[in-house]
Amino acid sequence: MSPSEPRVLSSRESLARFLVNLLFPPRCMVCRRMDTWLCPACVPQLPWLDGTICTRCGLPIQAGELCPRCAQTPLRLDGIRSALLFDGPAREAIHRLKYRQGRQLAEPLGGLLRMYWEEHPLPVNVIVPVPLHPSRLRQRGYNQAALLARELGRKIGLPVNEKALLRVRATASQMRLSAADRRRNVQDAFQCSDDRVAGQKVLLLDDVCTTGATLEACADALHSKGAAAVWALTLARAP
């Protein structure tokens, strides 16, 4: 690689961002004002998940420490936390990021993760994004979880390991599956390919958590390589 190559790539990325913003100008995800993805005044209006939650799975609960499910069958990871409820403008922004080539939203959404992290840090030392299957990655062109992980890692000073997990089996969409079917769907779908996770405290990073089945399957793969702890952080939590 020549010394000039990183600068060329940076120029191409800047040009691509300029063209995207020219054709699809930023619009605040809350108030719809042009020229910004999120107005500072609109940040408090987002559906922040800041009430009482289950200390294990992060599900909003009325009282106590554990939700009924975790009191009976705890998740196979140290805990799940989410910044927002998957509703309203948060839902719209994530759908645009994932399904409408909205990768430019990764930066402001990563900023929301940083805001949450500053109030609710977790005892971890490396970020691992939930991977896409290679066929889905080719189709979409990028992994939205990896984009968010890079933004969060850069903002809070944690390394990101995008090679630690592999999605070795293509799975059906989880969207319309029951909780039990979701667990079966992702069972053994992930492998950890990096011995360096041994002894590490890992933060799994994904866009949305619904039942936690995907995060559990990833945690199983990381634990198989000796991860000391596995926490998960998602941008949003399905209500």
Q: Residue 219 has what pLDDT?
A: 97
Q: Which of 196, 176, 188, 193 is nearest to 214 (CA)?
A: 188
Distance between CA atoms of residues 9 and 197, nearest Å: 30
Task: Name the residue type at position 49.
Answer: L
Give the pLDDT confidence score for residue 176 in this predicted structure: 66
Sign for the CA dihedral angle at 31, 34, 40, 46 comes to: positive
Query: In whole angstroms, how far apart are CA 203 and each of 12, 120, 213?
Result: 31, 13, 16
Q: Token pair for residue 168?
A: 């070795």
Tell me, what's the pLDDT at 172?
64
| Domains of the chain in sequence order | 21-237 (3.40.50)
Provide the CB-side half-sphere exposure for 113 (13 A, CA).
33
pLDDT of residue 22: 46
Read off the pLDDT of each residue in 4-9 and give the average, rounded to a whole number: 36
Q: What is the mean pLDDT of residues 119-145?
A: 95
Tokens matching residue 234: 């998602």
Question: Is residue 56's pLDDT more than 80?
Answer: yes
pLDDT-derived band at 91, boundaries 50, 70, 90 = very high
Query: Which residues are within 8 A (CB) of 109 and not within 5 positions of it... i.e. 6 or more apart?
Result: 93, 94, 97, 148, 151, 235
Identify which has the larger pLDDT, 174 or 84: 84
The secondary element (H helix, E strand) that includes residue 21 is: helix 5-23
Most confident of 26-40, 68-82, 162-176: 68-82
Q: Are 82 and 49 in contact (CB under 8 A)?
A: yes
